[in-house]
Chains A and B, each alone.
Chain A
Amino acid sequence: MKKDISKITNLTKVEKLEMRGIVKQFPGVLANDRIDFDVRAGEVHTLLGENGAGKSTLMKILYGIYHQDKGEIYVNEKLVNIRSPLDAIRLGIGMVHQHFMLVPTLTVAENVALGLRSSRKYLLDLDVVSERIRELAKDHGLYVDPEAKVWQLSVGEQQRVEIIKILYRGASLLILDEPTAVLTPQEVEELFRVLRSMVKRGYTIIFISHKLREVLSLSNRITILRDGHVVKTLPTAEATQEKLARLMVGREVLLQVEHPSVKLGRATLVLEGIWVQGDEGLPALRGIDLEVRSGEILGIAGVSGNGQSELAEVIAGLRKPTKGKVYIKGTEVTNWAPSQLLEYGLSYIPEERIRDGIVQEFTVEENLILKDHIHQPYANGIFMNFKNIARESERLISDFDIRTPSRYTSLKSLSGGNIQKLILARELSRKPGVLIASQPTRGLDVSATEYVHRQLIEQRTKLKTATLLISDDLDEILSLADRIAVIYEGKIMGVVKRNEVSVGELGMMMGGVHKDKIK
């Protein structure tokens, strides 16, 4: 049974989509509980909710990946049965997944043409495809070179390819699953500009997110989901960040952390003229001078890919500097092994937390002792002391509110927020003198983000930890950091106090203008 996507030209436009009383039961959990949802042409309707609220399930039902147990879907007032993504595409529904579905070694045109029948039967028609991509790109402002290989493209560009892919297939209703999670602030702005212009031309957009500011800026209506049911649907005009957060979490949420002042200690972490080679062999850091004092959070702001990852790695001992020196507590630690740095009071919350921060196959308890398992009280000589490990991990699980069925649960069963809490528990309980927190809330929902922020501030205030906070999220930096250093192409464009700088100035520095050149 071979279905052919290319036959579905001239799709009827989706003018109205309605989902009525959608119920989806998974073993042990009601993922969608009688959900009503509708969207009309020319609007952006946001689905807002924490991780596990049922947003993705609902959208996967609409896109034909799951099938609802109960409830109906109407497109343009007609009852439809969506059995597979192909059915959805035939109805003019397209989805941009959070994780891109592209073949990196193929070109943009080849990726778009994948799965479509060629207009020349057995011969490829990539030139026709490229031409059409250029048209689409021009129409929608989605600039991308059809001949470029996908692996060469930035994340933002890859996302454009995903959007072009579904437009190419004739979709008039776009589902965007957390599209901004992987983008820089600039790329987000660019994406929103494109989406707004599409909506003006009568496209329909369902936007899934938990970033309140973005939701308010883009959408016309907002539906909030919690625990599988609709809490409320409201027009954006009636919404505020606080109100949305409260509806989403089900209690009052502190969006802005308190920021008590602290008497600063000595410069605990000092970098002097650090040069580092990036993965491509080009210098990723070009003469970085920084100092972080005990009791302060120094935020590193910048568009991602300007050397932030390398900066974190060089301090953590995972990347060797080609020039320059690193000092911790007055001792030179350049070229120390990671193990020595750990012993010397350095904690590291890595950007790629699944890759660098945990062992997924290990249990919660094992992950909590990943760094200190050779020390008392976790080990006596070479033998592990399971009694102490159990006691300490139970304590950390409860102190840091890690939601896990037990300490024996493998990390594969934990949510992203809980994994980050675990890393936080491990790194902060070591009572570090220096803490590198790299993208500490990326991909986390509101409650988890709030929690991480509170912990970082508490650590700085009570234990006077010198904290280097690296984040792509400018709001996060502005709310947590005492001082902000802006990084651009491996150089520091300037270091400023948080309350002595405007977002505009930071933006200019992030674009490569040195602080001194801003009047």
Chain B
Amino acid sequence: MKYRDIREISMNFIPIAAFLLALLIGAIMIAFLGVNPLVAYHALLNGAFGSINALADTVVKATPLLFVGLGICIAFRAGVLNIGGEGQLVVGALSATIICLVFPNLTGWILILIALFFGFLGGAIWAGIAGFLKAYFNVNEILSTIMLNYIAVYGMNYLLRGPIMDPLQVKLGSFIPQTARLSQAVDLPRFIPTRLHLGTIIAIFFAILVYIFLWRTTIGFRIRMIGQNIQASRASGINVQKYMVLAFFLSGALVGLGGAIEVIGVHHRMFTDGSATGFTGSAGFNGIVAALFGQLHPIGTIPASLLLGALLTGANKMQRVVQVPSALIGALNGLIVIFVVGSEYLRRRQTRRVERIMKVEHNSKNKNKKEDK
């Protein structure tokens, strides 16, 4: 009995152990660059949590990760892989930006709500395309979501260099591909003097909402069911195609919402450096890591996003203090992804083992019961 409990509890620490292992290997890499890893990691920690401002930056960085992570939770729970977070972030952000540019004079709160709604809808439709293709034409969703990423980015580049480019840029002749600053009325309230904004609260609110949705509603039940066993779902009278599209739709919606919040909470305009990362900071991919790290549970994704946010913020500081090349940060990030995703496999195997033990124990218990009679 005790043995089993320890096993079960220890399972939850596997991703954390994987994370620490990744940091250890990172340390070796840093040492090879002739920098004391302790100093480097101290700078990282300091950069992420060292001051109120650092902490606030960490949370700001974590917010889009959480939105993406929540979207990923829904998709993965439905058994589909949404790798298109980048594209959905961009489309969500663009939708929100355009609506704000079209109606600059609306009252702040109403415009904020409209902007958020358009972000939600933009991401939903973008992911919904992949969902529709998967459900009705059996198009591989990994391919389609990645392709949609490219379409989103080039669409963004076109819009920002043309139709919605800041008129000032045109007038000055500098042609920086960005929109005008959005009306201050749509700025999300901030916790001055930090950069922390209301979006974080919205994200946490949605995390709870997603939890309730997946585990307390019949629709969530069905989404989780198709994720686990399509045949049994069909035999239980579920329209599998419909729920697959719905899962994609909601998944993209949350990511798109995250994109909209990045615009009205942080940047207050849309800009591009030609790639998706310029705007998203790879949140569309890092959010997947956050979700996996959080065991595909919306509540678990909250601390997981925070951790990754801290890493991203702290990495900047580390780069400045100990002068390691920025590529190292990317490598460190990649290491963490590989280790955490890899540990998922280990955890699953462990779960199976525990379940087998439970089965054996349980059978023996039944036998005792029988003999008692």
- Residue numbers of A with Cβ under 8 A of B are 26-31, 52, 227, 250, 316, 318, 337-343, 348, 350, 352, 355-362, 366, 370-371, 373-374, 379, 382-384, 386, 403-405, 409-410, 412-415
Judge if B370 is at the interface, Cβ distance under 8 Å.
yes
Asked if B236 and A29 sit within 8 Å, CB to CB, the answer is no
Q: Which residue of B lies closest to A379 (CB)?
A: B218
Minimum CB–CB distance from B348 to chain A (whole Å) comes to 11
Contact of A52 among B3, B224, B363 (CB under 8 A): B363
Minimum CB–CB distance from A338 to chain B (whole Å) comes to 4
| Whole-angstrom CA separation of A306 from B359 in the bound complex | 36
Judge if B239 is at the interface, Cβ distance under 8 Å.
yes
Asked if A29 and B363 sit within 8 Å, CB to CB, the answer is yes
Across the interface, which residues of B come within 8 angstroms of A362, CB to CB?
Answer: 224-225, 228
Minimum CB–CB distance from A351 to chain B (whole Å) comes to 11
Asked if A339 and B360 sit within 8 Å, CB to CB, the answer is no
Asked if B235 and A359 sit within 8 Å, CB to CB, the answer is no
Contact of A27 among B217, B352, B361 (CB under 8 A): B361
Q: Which residue of A lies closest to B226 (CB)?
A: A359
Q: Which residue of B lies closest to A350 (CB)?
A: B235
Across the interface, which residues of B come within 8 angstroms of A404, CB to CB?
Answer: 362
- Near A by CB (< 8 A), chain B positions 277-329 give none
Minimum CB–CB distance from A429 to chain B (whole Å) comes to 15
With A318-B235, A342-B237 given, is the CB distance from A413 to B362 under 8 Å?
yes
Asked if B357 and A358 sit within 8 Å, CB to CB, the answer is no
With A337-B237, A338-B235 given, is the CB distance from A26 to B360 under 8 Å?
yes
Asked if B366 and A382 sit within 8 Å, CB to CB, the answer is no
Asked if A338 and B234 sit within 8 Å, CB to CB, the answer is yes
With A26-B357, A342-B237, A410-B355 given, is the CB distance from A382 to B218 under 8 Å?
yes
Q: Which of B229, B237, B367 gathers the greatest number of chain A CB atoms within 10 Å?
A: B237
With A27-B3, A318-B235 given, is the CB distance from A360 to B229 under 8 Å?
yes
Judge if B231 is at the interface, Cβ distance under 8 Å.
yes
Asked if B359 and A415 sit within 8 Å, CB to CB, the answer is yes
Minimum CB–CB distance from A27 to chain B (whole Å) comes to 5
Asked if A318 and B234 sit within 8 Å, CB to CB, the answer is yes
Across the interface, which residues of A come within 8 angstroms of B364, CB to CB?
Answer: 28-30, 227
Across the interface, which residues of B come within 8 angstroms of A348, CB to CB?
Answer: 235
Asked if A359 and B232 sit within 8 Å, CB to CB, the answer is yes
| Whole-angstrom CA separation of A341 from B352 in the bound complex | 36
Asked if B239 and A339 sit within 8 Å, CB to CB, the answer is yes
With A337-B237, A359-B232 given, is the CB distance from A370 to B225 under 8 Å?
yes
Across the interface, which residues of A come within 8 angstroms of B221, CB to CB?
Answer: 366, 373, 384
| Whole-angstrom CA separation of A370 from B233 in the bound complex | 8
Across the interface, which residues of B come within 8 angstroms of A318, CB to CB?
Answer: 234-235
Across the interface, which residues of B come within 8 angstroms of A338, CB to CB?
Answer: 234-237
Judge if B181 is at the interface, Cβ distance under 8 Å.
no
Judge if B349 is at the interface, Cβ distance under 8 Å.
no
Asked if A357 and B232 sit within 8 Å, CB to CB, the answer is yes
Asked if B237 and A339 sit within 8 Å, CB to CB, the answer is yes
| A-B pairs, 10 with minimum CB distance | A339-B237, A29-B364, A28-B361, A52-B363, A338-B237, A342-B237, A359-B229, A356-B235, A359-B228, A382-B217
Contact of B228 among A340, A360, A383, A405 (CB under 8 A): A360
Q: Which residue of B lies closest to A250 (CB)?
A: B370
Asked if B218 and A370 sit within 8 Å, CB to CB, the answer is no
With A26-B357, A28-B361, A415-B359 given, is the CB distance from A339 to B238 under 8 Å?
yes
Asked if B232 and A356 sit within 8 Å, CB to CB, the answer is yes
Asked if B358 and A405 sit within 8 Å, CB to CB, the answer is yes
- Near A by CB (< 8 A), chain B positions 213-271 give 216-219, 221-222, 224-225, 228-229, 231-239
Given contacts A27-B361, A370-B225, 19 further A-B contacts (CB under 8 A): A27-B4, A27-B357, A29-B364, A52-B363, A52-B367, A316-B235, A318-B235, A359-B233, A360-B229, A361-B228, A383-B216, A383-B217, A405-B362, A412-B355, A412-B359, A413-B355, A413-B358, A413-B359, A413-B362
Minimum CB–CB distance from B29 to chain A (whole Å) comes to 35
Across the interface, which residues of B come within 8 angstroms of A31, CB to CB?
Answer: 360
Q: Which residue of A lies closest to B213 (CB)?
A: A382
Asked if A371 and B236 sit within 8 Å, CB to CB, the answer is yes
| Whole-angstrom CA separation of A415 from B217 in the bound complex | 29
Q: Which of B219, B231, B236 gathers the greatest number of chain A CB atoms within 10 Å?
A: B236
Minimum CB–CB distance from B45 to chain A (whole Å) comes to 38
| Whole-angstrom CA separation of A397 from B366 in the bound complex | 14
Across the interface, which residues of B come within 8 angstroms of A360, CB to CB?
Answer: 228-229
Minimum CB–CB distance from B217 to chain A (whole Å) comes to 5
Asked if B219 and A357 sit within 8 Å, CB to CB, the answer is no
| Whole-angstrom CA separation of A337 from B234 in the bound complex | 9
Minimum CB–CB distance from A352 to chain B (whole Å) comes to 8
Q: Which residue of B lies closest to A375 (CB)?
A: B218
Across the interface, which residues of B come within 8 angstroms of A409, CB to CB?
Answer: 358
| Whole-angstrom CA separation of A359 from B232 in the bound complex | 7
Asked if A374 and B218 sit within 8 Å, CB to CB, the answer is yes
Across the interface, which residues of B come within 8 angstroms of A412, CB to CB?
Answer: 352, 355, 359
| Whole-angstrom CA separation of A371 from B361 in the bound complex | 30
Contact of A357 among B235, B352, B360, B370 (CB under 8 A): B235
Across the interface, which residues of B come within 8 angstroms of A382, CB to CB?
Answer: 217-219
Minimum CB–CB distance from B340 to chain A (whole Å) comes to 21
Q: Which residue of A lies closest to B352 (CB)?
A: A412
Judge if B102 is at the interface, Cβ distance under 8 Å.
no
Q: Which residue of A lies closest to B370 (CB)?
A: A250
Asked if A370 and B236 sit within 8 Å, CB to CB, the answer is yes
Asked if B229 and A355 sit within 8 Å, CB to CB, the answer is yes
| Whole-angstrom CA separation of A412 from B360 in the bound complex | 12
| Whole-angstrom CA separation of A26 from B3 in the bound complex | 12
